Amino acid sequence: MEYLTVFVENTNAHPLLIFLTAGEFGIAADSPLTPEEMALIRRKEAEQAAYSLGASVIIMSFPDSGLSFIPLEKLVEAVMPIIREHEADGIFSFDPFVTADLIDHPDHNVAGQVARYSAMADVKYFLPESKALQKRPQLYLLTRPNEENHTLPHTAELDQRRVKYMEKHYPSQFRPEKREEWVTFFDSTIEAYERVR
């Protein structure tokens, strides 16, 4: 998300964040929260994060950790009308075909597939009652650094901004008492990416 923040700050973009799930199963093993309680927390976090970007947000109700069991057509049918309505110039998501240590997630992979199909010029197969898109949105996929089409420089300042952003907007996922653990995780992942460049 910190890279999207930099992108927004350096363009005239008016982002719309689309969450396919409410993140109800993103619960720590030692947490007493129910999935319903976590969904409320994650929705609020997403709304606050979007607000900080000057973005709008749509949170859908597909099952968290269950997107890979939903037919892709249904997911695309849910997202495409939003893409059309907002006449999106660009779509940011995960690369569905890249796996990396510790960050591979089935829901993220499916979201990447939805993004790829949603960026296609002609999706009549999914929405037969709709005309083909008049304009194809640019597709930006989070992937390994040596495979990116569009890159942003990795700096210590960006690392600090990432940490502050995560702490401020996603406290349920990046808890202060676990700060050293998740910061180390992000840093080691970036170091691993650097090694494969």
- Provide the number of structural domains found in the chain: 1
16-53 per-position pLDDT tens digit: 999 999 999 988 888 899 999 999 999 999 999 899 88
Domain limits at 144?
A: 2-151
Max distance between CA atoms of the chain, in angstroms, equals 51
pLDDT at 24: 95
Q: What whole-number distance in Å separates Cα of residue 158 and Cα of residue 162?
A: 6
Average pLDDT over residues 164-193: 77
- Residue 31 in domain: yes
Q: What whole-number distance in Å separates Cα of residue 98 and Cα of residue 103?
A: 10
CA-nearest of 59, 76, 63, 143 to 111 is 76
- Residue 176 in domain: no
Would you list the DSSP string of 32-76?
Answer: ---HHHHHHHHHHHHHHHHHHHT-EEEEEEEPTT-GGGS-HHHHH
- Residue 56 in domain: yes
- Residue 194 in domain: no
- Residue 159 in domain: no
- The 8 Å CB, 24+ separation contacts for 6-9 are 6/152, 6/158, 7/92, 7/152, 8/53, 8/54, 8/55
- Name the average pLDDT for the chain: 80
- Residue 121 in domain: yes
- Residue 141 in domain: yes
pLDDT at 13: 79
CA-nearest of 130, 22, 135, 46 to 80 is 130
Average pLDDT over residues 50-79: 93
Report the CATH number that the domain containing residue 45 is assigned in CATH: 3.40.50.10320
- Residue 59 in domain: yes
Specify which residues 18 forms β-bridges with: 58
pLDDT at 57: 95
Is the CB of residue 61 less than 8 Å from the CB of residue 74? no
139-161 per-position pLDDT tens digit: 888 775 554 445 556 677 877 88
Average pLDDT over residues 123-136: 59
